[in-house]
């Protein structure tokens, strides 16, 4: 018989097997297919009994009783059976990291000037001397008239009788003025630019 690659065969009643070889047997002139079944036994059927499927496998449209008559019992045919290993493919999945792009960050510092006009308080004292020249009986005390502090100054003068005469008053007035002194101040702000590079 002529050796062929293993080809799957399915049939009725859950039949599964593999075509091991194709060729004429010793007592047959037509091509026969030698099929190794899943249970380890072998059958030899006419090659034209196999129907080719779209996936390249074969379909054997025989009943269980028909298959029994094709089982090989001849020791000579059993010796002609070729043992072909069945190879199964396994799927191996592997993950890897692939760069999809790069990002470049650029930081730019901007400078700007702003005018600050903050009011500043300043206090001054205005001293005013006011002549009074009036005779008083008792010394005067420091008094306030609004923001003005009045300090009496006394002087003794010689008269027929001694009296107190208010000679003058010193008036101190607190004055508040508001001035503006503009100044330039530099403020900084940061900006980030993103530049993407494809791999």
- Report the CATH number that the domain containing residue 39 is assigned in CATH: 2.30.30
DSSP 71: B
Q: Which residues of the chain have pLDDT under 70?
A: 1-5, 13, 24-29, 72-87, 159-160, 199
Q: Does 186 share its domain with 114? A: yes
Q: Does 66 share its domain with 109? A: no
The encoded tokens of residue 69 equal 């008559």
Report pLDDT for 72.
Answer: 64
Report pLDDT for 199.
Answer: 63
Domain boundary among 29, 44, 79: 79
Report pLDDT for 192.
Answer: 79
Angle 95-96-101 from CA coordinates, rounded to 5°? 135
Report pLDDT for 86.
Answer: 65
Is residue 47 helix, strand or coil? helix
Residue 195 CB partners (closer than 8 Å, separation 6+): 103, 104, 106
Q: Does 67 share its domain with 125? A: no
Output the CA torsion 17→20→25→31 (10° steps): 80
The encoded tokens of residue 16 equal 């599964």
pTM for the structure as a whole: 0.33
Q: Does 6 share its domain with 53? A: yes
Report pLDDT for 2.
Answer: 39
Residue 146 CB partners (closer than 8 Å, separation 6+): none
Total structural domains within the chain: 2
pLDDT tens per residue across span 144-195: 988 899 999 998 887 667 778 888 888 888 888 888 888 888 888 888 787 8
Residue 149 CB partners (closer than 8 Å, separation 6+): 142, 143, 171, 172, 173
Q: Does 44 share its domain with 132? A: no
Q: Does 31 share its domain with 112? A: no
Q: Does 109 share its domain with 182? A: yes
Q: Does 195 share its domain with 125? A: yes
Report pLDDT for 134.
Answer: 86
Burial-class residue 31 by CB neighbours within 10 Å (0-12, 13-18, 19+): middle
Q: Does 187 share its domain with 120? A: yes
Q: Per the domain annotation, does 88 fall within a domain? A: no
State residue 113 phi and psi, 5-degree precision.
-110, 135
Report pLDDT for 84.
Answer: 55
Alpha carbon separation from 43 to 14, 24, 71, 196 (Å, rounded): 15, 14, 4, 68
Structural domain harbouring 33: 2-79
Q: Per the domain annotation, does 155 fall within a domain? A: yes
Report pLDDT for 3.
Answer: 46
The span from the CA of 136 to the CA of 131, in Å, is: 14
Q: Per the domain annotation, does 90 fall within a domain? A: no
Q: Does 63 share its domain with 109? A: no
Is residue 74 helix, strand or coil? coil
Of 38, 41, 43, the C-alpha closest to 21 is 43
Q: Does 110 share its domain with 198? A: yes
Report pLDDT for 25.
Answer: 60
Report pLDDT for 156.
Answer: 85
Q: Per the domain annotation, does 158 fall within a domain? A: yes
Q: Per the domain annotation, does 93 fall within a domain? A: no
The encoded tokens of residue 18 equal 């593999």
Q: Does 45 share its domain with 117? A: no
Of 55, 20, 23, the C-alpha closest to 37 is 20
């Amino acid at each position: 018989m002529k050796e062929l690659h293993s080809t799957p065969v399915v049939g009725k009643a859950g039949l599964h097997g593999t075509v091991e070889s194709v060729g004429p047997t010793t007592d047959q002139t037509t091509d026969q297919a030698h099929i190794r079944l899943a249970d380890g036994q072998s059958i030899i059927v006419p090659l034209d009994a196999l129907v080719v499927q779209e996936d390249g496998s074969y379909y054997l449209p025989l009943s269980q009783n028909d298959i029994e008559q094709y089982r090989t019992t001849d020791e000579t045919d059993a010796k002609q059976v070729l043992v072909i290993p069945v190879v199964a493919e396994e799927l191996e999945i592997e993950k890897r990291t692939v760069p999809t792009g790069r990002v470049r960050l650029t930081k730019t510092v901007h400078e700007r000037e702003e005018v600050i006009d903050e009011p500043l308080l300043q206090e001054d004292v205005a001293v005013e001397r006011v002549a009074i020249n009036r005779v008083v009986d008792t010394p005067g005390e420091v008094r306030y008239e609004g923001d003005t502090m009045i300090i009496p100054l006394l002087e003794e003068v010689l008269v027929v009788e001694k009296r107190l005469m208010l000679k003058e008053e010193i008036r101190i007035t607190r004055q508040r003025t508001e001035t503006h002194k503009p100044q330039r101040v530099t403020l900084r702000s940061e900006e980030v630019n993103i530049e993407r590079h494809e791999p």
